[in-house]
Amino acid sequence: MIPVSFLTSMLAGLAAKVGINQLTKHGYMPQSTYLKAALKALEKDDLDEAIKSYHLAVKKWPPSQRTEIAAEIISMAIAVRVAKLQRRVDELERQINPRRFSLQFWHNLLPKNKQRLEELRQEQQGCQEAISVLHRMKEKLHEKD
Amino acid sequence: MSKIIKTTAAGGAGFLAGLLLERGLESLTGLDFVDGLFAVSGSILAALSVNRDLVQAAARNIEQMFGKDPLEITESEWRQFKELNPKTAEWLEKALKI
């Protein structure tokens, strides 16, 4: 037989948990809770979660200096990733479409390199798609709900 | 002696019952009770440590941007960072008393 007091405390714990979950979900918890979650997500490279937590931080509370800084940090993290991908796109571009009559140009004409060139083209396309996703994320970050 | 054994057995049974009930409710509701109990204290701790997290996140960005430790960046690199992130730079200058 489970004691009544034990069940009461379990129910109280359950009610508190559900209540806190709902408060957290709707942006009623202290702003720093969401900022911390956003920065934690950013550390784990989870930009979607970082942006979501940032939006929750400013959903019910007015923007503060700390939220502005967090937005700048997230935006900067996106920009750093875009720059890295862009460097790779440029690097691939030089390999796929080299200067006419350069060594790479003749190298690309060899039939044995066709497969490799195709792979490079696919990688370049993947990088470009990732860049556009990151740009959309940046727009989403600055969007007002 | 028998009293100690009885108390220990009752305590162990209570612990197991609580654990089973918690696990059962967790699997039924998908809620983590231990997390729930610490959520409030967690939010207080978050408020205290968020400044440190901001500094660390900014430092990581500087490291990724320039490929070196934030302590090793030059004056011109700092100015470049400041141009791109005016609010963060200003806040860092205040927080770190640069």
Domain assignment of residue A36, yes or no? yes
- Residue B42's pLDDT is 56
Same domain membership, residue B39 and residue B25: no
Over the stretch B69-85, which tens digit does the pLDDT of each residue have? 888 899 999 999 999 99
Is ipTM strictly over 0.95? no
> Does residue B37 surpass a pLDDT of 50?
no
Residue range(s) defining the domain that contains residue A61: 25-142
| C-alpha–C-alpha distance, residues A5 and A84, integer Å | 59
CB of B40 closer than 8 Å to CB of A33: no
Number of folded domains that form chain B = 2
Of B33, B58, B60, Cβ closest to residue A17: B33
Lowest mean pLDDT among A79-93, B6-20, B60-74: B6-20
Residue range(s) defining the domain that contains residue B15: 1-31
Domain assignment of residue A3, yes or no? no
> Does residue B13 surpass a pLDDT of 80?
no
- Residue A75's pLDDT is 95
Same domain membership, residue B80 and residue B59: yes
Domain assignment of residue A8, yes or no? no
CB–CB of A32 and B50 under 8 A? Answer: yes
User: Residue B46 contacts by C-beta under 8 Å, 6 or more apart in sequence?
Assistant: A30, A32, A33, A35, A36
* A79 Cβ under 8 Å from any chain B Cβ: yes
Helices A31-43 and B33-66 meet at what angle, rounded to 10?
60
At position B27, the amino acid (one-letter code) is: S
What is the rounded average pLDDT for all residues in chain A?
90
Same domain membership, residue B82 and residue B56: yes
Same domain membership, residue B48 and residue B8: no
> Does residue B36 surpass a pLDDT of 80?
no
Residue of chain A whose Cα is closest to the Cα of B88:
A69
Q: How confident is the model at residue A24 (pLDDT cuts 50, 70, 90)?
A: confident
Same domain membership, residue B73 and residue B26: no
Domain assignment of residue A112, yes or no? yes
Same domain membership, residue B84 and residue B51: yes
